[in-house]
Structure 1
Amino acid sequence: MIGVWRRLNEFYSTLLFWIIGDLLYASLLHDFRVWEFRPVWIDHFILPTHTIIATAIAFINYPSVIVVFLGRFPKSNIKKLCWVILWAMIFQAIEIIAYLNDSIVHNHGWTLTWSFIFNLMTFSLLAIHRWKPWVAWLLSILNIILLWIIFHPPLPK
């Protein structure tokens, strides 16, 4: 595991890509969040708001996930596909637990099914970004447009 952390520089631009995506969600949909983190238990003292929780996730969880996800990314196409699905399922399981204990809520038609689709898109884009950054950016823009059409959020003021 330590060897993978030494390679963080290789994955740094992909980590920034992921964090930028999160920041875009936070700023563009500030008043129309389709999912929102809520503090539970001790979180009220440590992570009292959605914004602080989301920021902590981006700067603490994402680097850890990136080094494992990309650092151990398989070579064969079928294993690559399985790896992306595995990570989408891990994030889905975490979200289901959070959903059941009310530390995440869904709004405006967002569901656990949409979250799984979003997780598949996210991990696919992270894998693509690692090797073809501009393709990932283009696909991200297309995904944003598609989600905007489906969920009809108002334009930010």
Structure 2
Amino acid sequence: MDYFHFIIAIVSVIFCYIFGAWQHWEKYYATILFFILGDLIYNIVFSKKLLWKYNSKALNHSLINLLVAFTVYPSTVLVYFAFYPDTLLFRVVYILIWTFAYTIVEYVGLKLKYFEHQYGWNTIATIIFNMGIFIILPLHQIKPPYAWTMSLVGLIFTLKLYEVNVLKLD
């Protein structure tokens, strides 16, 4: 049995317990749900043409995705906001650090064959996507409608760029 996704989930929860703002989870609950729902929307809209997917001998993409959605994403939000800086310069650096961290985890998963890019998705697209996540999460905390609008624009752009026809979903 392969353990990569379980290790990532467990490490995320441990980091959250040690470093996260889990005592104030209610404050970030809406943003946690936003993160999870964004991933759910991706998996539905791109179901016929997943741009990236999880691989495992033990679990299928959907089950791994649920594991990640309910462990990694909440942990990410709680740790991310526990140390979110006040000044613009430090915010830019912070976003870059988180983008790098998420990209490195994915890169390791790619090399170990636990993660797969498809249909032209690549590491550059991942970096841009990850940066978008870490820009939109704090926006969601203060102006949720703007975050939803930016996410919708990003979704439409990605659908067009990768030629995904949402009318052909099951």
Structure 2-normalised TM-score? 0.85
Q: Distance in 2 between matches of 1:38 and 1:2?
A: 29
Q: Distance in 2 between matches of 1:2 and 1:120?
A: 21
Aligned to 2:43: 26
SS in 1 for 2:50: coil
Q: 1:144 aligns with which of 126, 149, 155?
A: 155
**Identity of counterpart residues, as a percentage?**
25
Distance change (3 Å), C-alpha of 1:103 and 1:2: closer
Q: Distance in 2 between matches of 1:121 and 1:31?
A: 23
Q: Distance in 2 between matches of 1:115 and 1:3?
A: 24
Distance change (3 Å), C-alpha of 1:139 and 1:3: closer
RMSD between superposed Cα atoms in Å: 1.2
Maintained 8 Å contact 1:32/1:154: no
Q: Distance in 1 between matches of 2:143 and 2:65?
A: 27
Offset, 1:2: 6.7
Question: 1:107-126, aligned counterparts within 5 Å?
Answer: 107-126=118-137
Amino acid at match of 2:35: W
Q: 1:4 aligns with which of 15, 21, 27?
A: 21
SS in 2 for 1:31: coil
Unaligned runs of 5+ in 1: none
Maintained 8 Å contact 1:14/1:129: yes
SS in 1 for 2:53: strand
Amino acid at match of 1:9: E
Offset, 1:154: 2.2
Maintained 8 Å contact 2:19/2:79: no
Amino acid at match of 1:14: T
Amino acid at match of 1:55: L
Q: Which digits, 9 at most, give the CA deviation of each residue in 1:42-89, with x for residues without a partner?
A: xx1xxx100000110010111111111012110001111111111111
Unaligned runs of 5+ in 2: 1-17
The question of 1:81 aligning with 2:95 is answered no
Structure 1-normalised TM-score? 0.92
